[in-house]
Amino acid sequence: DAKTTQPTSMDCAEGRAANLPCNHSTISGNEYVYWYRQIHSQGPQYIIHGLKNNETNEMASLIITEDRKSSTLILPHATLRDTAVYYCIVLHNNAGNMLTFGGGTRLMVKP
Amino acid sequence: KAGVTQTPRYLIKTRGQQVTLSCSPISGHRSVSWYQQTPGQGLQFLFEYFSETQRNKGNFPGRFSGRQFSNSRSEMNVSTLELGDSALYLCASSLAGGVSSYEQYFGPGTRLTVT
């Protein structure tokens, strides 16, 4: 699976958009980009995933660059409850259902 | 729809004992995966069950085992507990195999402390 690089930490003001970047320059054509987050003392939470096109759901939007070497997760109106560690993962569809999280980005939403 | 439930939420055991953890997946989900999470090692995959069969296995010793029942509920067992087994054990369910399997829904975890 391709390696990802994310900033260690970011701050965001409550009510503003949080834009979390992820670099995955070695991504291959059939690898998907997945985002999860983990709020302190809770299990990880699936957010969104995509292959080529931008995706949006009730939680977030995922913007993938045309060359697919990077992506951005956007939380349109961050709340204090969005404070968490956000993980960007690149997965091949036959990687055996195993999720592995790297360091992730610790997002702190401030009032 | 109810989420993934895990029992118990907290557990304290002593070295050498064994422990069984339980996981009930989201209704309709047939795949259940187990993970161990520690501050030092991060999230590590233990195994995945689908239709009562172990489909994938991580790199853990044989002391770690699991099973899945016909209703998709799953249990994992750790025998001869060691201090290093202290961790948060997470269960995740997903609909089925293939790409959608990475859309996994996690339970709150069982925090196991071995003394």
Q: What is the pLDDT of residues A12-61, one digit of tens each?
A: 999 999 999 999 999 988 888 999 999 988 899 999 999 998 999 999 99
| pLDDT tens profile B69-110 | 999 999 999 999 999 999 999 999 988 655 556 788 999 999
Contact A43 B31 (CB under 8 A): no
Bridge partners, B53 (sequence order):
B50
DSSP state for residue A44 in the 8-state scheme = -
Distance to chain A for B17, nearest Cα, Å: 25
The answer for residues whose C-beta is within 8 angstroms of residue B26's C-beta and 6 or more apart is B1, B2, B3, B4, B93, B105
Chain B residues near residue A42 by CB distance under 8 angstroms: 108-109
Distance to chain B for A14, nearest Cα, Å: 26
Determine the pLDDT at residue B55.
86
User: How far apart (Å, rounded) are the C-alpha atoms in residues A11 and A97?
Assistant: 32
| pLDDT tens profile A71-100 | 999 999 999 999 999 999 988 766 666 777
Determine the pLDDT at residue A82.
97
Determine the pLDDT at residue A108.
97
The answer for residues whose C-beta is within 8 angstroms of residue A99's C-beta and 6 or more apart is A36, A44, A89, A91, B33, B35, B43, B45, B92, B102, B104
